[in-house]
């Protein structure tokens, strides 16, 4: 699949929110754009530094966080 995508956490970038490695684009930004109805193609067109794998990584990260929060609540 080429270069792996990583989600990074840096307290000095975007208030410590998880971001796509090498950008200042936060996972929450991508989730918001998707929730607003933007397609993957539209997001990549607006933010050409992103790739499809970055969007999928953001979704996987959010799903994993949700899964962990449900386990912690049990």
Query: Residue 73: what pLDDT?
Result: 55
Tally the residues of the chain: 74
Domain ranges for the chain, please list them.
Answer: 7-73
Kindly indicate the confidence band of residue 67, based on its pLDDT and cuts at 50, 70 and 90.
Answer: confident
Dist. CA 55–CA 23, nearest whole Å: 13
18-58 residue pLDDT tens: 999 999 999 999 999 999 999 999 999 999 999 999 999 99
Q: Structure tokens of 4?
A: 């792996």
Q: pTM to 2 decimals?
A: 0.82
Class of domain 7-73: mainly alpha
Angle at 43 between CA 40 and CA 49, to 5 degrees: 110
């Amino acid at each position: 699949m080429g270069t792996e995508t990583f989600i990074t956490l840096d307290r000095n970038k975007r208030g410590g929110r998880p971001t796509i490695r090498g950008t200042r684009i936060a996972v929450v930004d991508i989730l918001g754009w998707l929730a607003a109805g933007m397609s993957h193609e539209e997001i990549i067109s607006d933010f050409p530094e992103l790739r499809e794998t970055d969007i999928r990584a953001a979704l996987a990260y959010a799903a994993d966080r949700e899964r962990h929060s449900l386990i912690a609540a049990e």
